[in-house]
Amino acid sequence: MTTDIEQTELKAKKQPKRKIISILKTIMLYGLMFVVIYSVVNWWRQPIMPANPQLQLTDYQGQTIDLAAMSHERPTLVYFWGMWCSVCSFTSPTINKLAADNYPVVTVAVQSGSNQELRGYLDQHQFDFTTINDQQGNIFADWQGQITPSYVVLENGEMTQGLTGIQPLWSLKLRLWLASVF
C-alpha cells in the first residue's frame, strides 16, 4: 500500500510528461489546422487555365516563347509576379535559382511597366529568367489570377498544378519532378 507522500511524488513525476504530451498535441493540432486552411486558400486562389490559352507569347526582348512546346519536352513552371509585389521580392530569387539550375521557367511580369523599366529591374536584381511583360495584366486576367506570386506547372500544354504564395526551391523542384513522373 502506497502512502500519501509516495502518491504525491508519483503525480509530480507524471505532471511534466503530461504537460509535454499536451503541448505536442496542441502543436500538432494547430499544425494540421494550418495545413488544411493553407491548402484550401491556395486551391481557391490558384490560377485557372483558360479554355483557349494563349501559349505562344513574346518576351520583353521580342523573342517568341512557345509554352506548349516547352512543356512537351519537360514540365514547365510559369511564374506570375510583379515588380510592385513585396512578396515577389522574396520569391523571384528562388525562381532565378530554379532557372539557373536548368529547369524550364517562364515568368510573366504583371503590370510592371514598360519593357525598358522591366529590363532595368531585372538587371538591377541580376535575374536571368525568361520574362514576358504583361503590361496591362491581360495574360494574368486570362488565367483568372487573383494574387501574386502565382505559379502554374504546365505539362504537354496542360496545367497540372497551380499554387500561390511563397514556395521554397525544394517544393518547386519537387512539383516539377512529380509532374514529369505522374
Can you state the angle between helices 169-181 and 88-100, rounded to 10 degrees? 50
CA distance 182 to 172: 15
pLDDT of residue 46: 84
Q: What is the pLDDT of residues 62-117, one digit of tens each?
A: 999 999 999 999 999 999 999 999 999 999 999 999 999 999 999 999 999 999 99
If you ran DSSP here, which 8-state letter would residue 87 be given? T
**Phi, psi of 151, rounded to the nearest 5 degrees:** -135, 145
pLDDT of residue 37: 84
- Is residue 168 predicted with pLDDT exceeding 70? yes
Nearest to 143, CA basis, from 48, 71, 56: 48
Pairing of strands 105-110, 130-134: parallel
**Phi, psi of 22, rounded to the nearest 5 degrees:** -65, -45
Q: Average pLDDT in the 4-12 region?
A: 66
Q: What is the pLDDT of residues 37-50, one digit of tens each?
A: 877 877 777 888 88
Identity at 89, one-letter amino acid code? S
What dotted CATH number matches 56-181? Answer: 3.40.30.10
Kindly report which listed range (11-15, 33-37, 134-138, 168-172) carries the lowest average pLDDT score. 11-15
Which of the four pLDDT bands, split at 50, 70 and 90, describes residue 1? low
Residue 36 CA: distances (Å) to CA of 39, 41, 70, 159, 181:
5, 9, 33, 23, 25
Q: Any idea where the domains of the chain sit in the sequence? A: 1-45, 56-181
End-to-end CA distance of the chain: 64
Q: Average pLDDT in the 19-31 region?
A: 91
Check: CB of residue 109 under 8 Å from CB of residue 15: no
pLDDT of residue 75: 97
Q: What is the pLDDT of residues 125-160, one digit of tens each?
A: 999 999 999 999 999 999 999 999 999 999 999 999
